[in-house]
Amino acid sequence: MDRHAIVIGAGLAGSSAAERLAARGWRISLVERAATSGAGASGNLAGVLRPLPSVDDNRLARLTRAAFEYALTHLQALTTAGLPLRWGQTGVLHLARDERHAATQQRVVTEQEPASAYLRWVAREAASELAGWPVADGGWWFAGGGWVDPASLCRANLARHGAAVVPHYRRAVERIEHAAGCWRCFAGSGETIAAAPILVLANAGDARRFAATSHLPLRTARGQVSHLPATAGSAPAVVVCRLGYVTPAIDGLRCAGATFAVDDDEAGLRAADHAENLARLEFILPGYSRHIDAAGLGGRVGFRPLSPDRLPMIGAVADAAALDGQGAAATLADLRRVPGLFVVNGFGARGIVWSALAGELLACLIERSPPALAADLVAAVDPGRFLLPRQRQRLRTGGPQRRGSAPERGDD
């Protein structure tokens, strides 16, 4: 087969997929409607890189751990290669939100005995010292975590393999078509933008526009982050989270966020959202926001692509049309797949955490080579899962996965 793929979308999802495929010798035609990479949700000044443990070490916890570890190796490799990635491995302090949460956090550490370089519990005094500010409770300390400038990660991914990735910026794909083993992407004018045997859809919420992926239960969550002016050397010098997050100073600004509103497409900054972020900041670092005026703040709005079960969608697109009239397939293996069509999407509030592992997994699935990830986790992110009877039932009845207006928050 011609090792040539089209990737639509130059955010964290698309740039990671392109990078991992190019590393294996593929040529990539990267199609992006914006003038540059990292112009969508992946364009914040900085976001948080850390995993999300749980008492029962559930799939989300195992996946975020695998993704976090893979991301660290990937970021280190990009840095070593001299690529213009901006990140800071400052450590992430994830404070307990109340006493009960503190007990849960401690239980995770006591029962799972993680390596201390990965996760430690720190009591209030030690947490205050790490934060450089008096805090209300102890929390998890991820010494290897930190902040990442996501747009710089997109740029570094796309630059890593030189001419193997050919970008087509300012080109919006209106339509896709598959004929004689070849996928074609068309502009609104009807002109072909790119053609290749493999097509990867990494275009976030916009993936719903294509008939083959219109069955995917994707939604978007508007998020506003506030930029706080920061003087050199001021606290915190580490990322601190507690139902929100605040980063160290980056270019004289720290990011505090973020709001989370499902199916809300207002693109402009809102004063009320800055006020919400400041209230969140006050909960993280009591007294910190007292002298900050919400009215004068800058910030950025982005739209997170959400999946109803909080797990990303990575892999071959299932042929939903083939199921029509036959009911749901019983297992993932029973599903017919659309030839040559793949998706990497649904990163929600964790794109910085997921993206490198997602790109690697996608490349393995395209090449049919075994991924270095447990089979149940590969199945957990299979985009075909939404066509299986249990998921279909949940989506139809608005069961546990859809309840509430905020199906996930990465910064909780």
Ligand X SMILES: Cc1cc2nc3c(=O)[nH]c(=O)nc-3n(C[C@H](O)[C@H](O)[C@H](O)COP(=O)(O)OP(=O)(O)OC[C@H]3O[C@@H](n4cnc5c(N)ncnc54)[C@H](O)[C@@H]3O)c2cc1C
Residues forming contacts to ligand X in the complex (CB under 6 A) are 8-14, 31-34, 39-42, 44, 47-48, 150, 172-173, 202-204, 206, 223, 225, 257-258, 302, 304-305, 345, 347-353, 410-411
Catalogue the long-range contacts made by 332-337 (C-beta closer than 8 Å, 24 or more residues apart). 332/379, 332/382, 332/384, 332/385, 332/388, 335/384, 335/387, 337/384
Let me know how long the chain is.
412
- By beta-carbon proximity to ligand X, the closer residue of 158 and 388 is 158
Which residues face 246 on adjacent strands?
240, 256
Cβ proximity to ligand X, 14 vs 407, nearer residue: 14
Q: Tell me the three state secondary structure of residue 166.
A: strand
**Complex with ligand X: residue 9 or 308, whichever CB lies closer:** 9
State the nearest-atom distance from the C-beta of 208 to ligand X, in Å: 10
Least Å distance, CB 203 to ligand X, is 3
Q: Are 67 and 43 in contact, with CB atoms under 8 Å apart?
A: no
Whole-number minimum distance, CB 172 to ligand X, in Å?
4
Q: How many CB atoms lie within 10 A of CB 291?
A: 6
DSSP H helices in 24-163: 59-80, 99-112, 124-131, 150-159
State phi, psi for 49 to the nearest 5 degrees.
-115, 110
Nearest approach in angstroms of CB 216 to ligand X is: 13
CB of 314 to ligand X, least distance (A): 11
CB of 403 to ligand X, least distance (A): 21
Q: Residue 178 is encoded by which pair of tokens?
A: 């598959």
At closest approach, how far in Å is the CB of 309 from ligand X? 15
Nearer to ligand X, 360 or 388 (CB): 360
Q: Residue 102, Cα to own-chain centre: how many angstroms?
A: 26
Query: How far, in Å, CA of 66 to CA of 314, rounded?
Result: 15
Which residue's CB is nearer to ligand X, number 184 or number 336? 184
**Could you give the C-alpha distances from 105 to 95, 138, 409, in angstroms and in order?**
9, 9, 17
Is residue 69 within 8 Å of 122, Cβ to Cβ? no
Minimal distance in Å, beta carbon 326 to ligand X? 31
CA distance linking residue 227 with residue 223, whole number of Å: 13
For ligand X, the closer CB: 214 or 331:
214
Nearest CA to 379 out of 330, 316, 332, 312 is that of: 332
* Tokens at 233, concatenated: 């050397």
**Within 13 Å, how many C-alpha atoms sit on residue 11's CB side?**
30
Helices 150-159 + 59-80 axis angle, to 10: 60
Residues 6 or more apart in contact with residue 54 via CB below 8 angstroms: 60, 61, 108
Closer residue to ligand X in complex, CB, 189/369: 189
Shortest distance in whole angstroms from residue 110 CB to ligand X: 27
Nearer to ligand X, 87 or 347 (CB): 347
Smaller CB separation from ligand X, 102 or 255:
255
373 touches 367 (CB < 8 A): no
Find the shortest distance in angstroms from Cβ 103 to ligand X. Answer: 25
Of 223 and 308, the one with the shorter C-beta distance to ligand X is 223
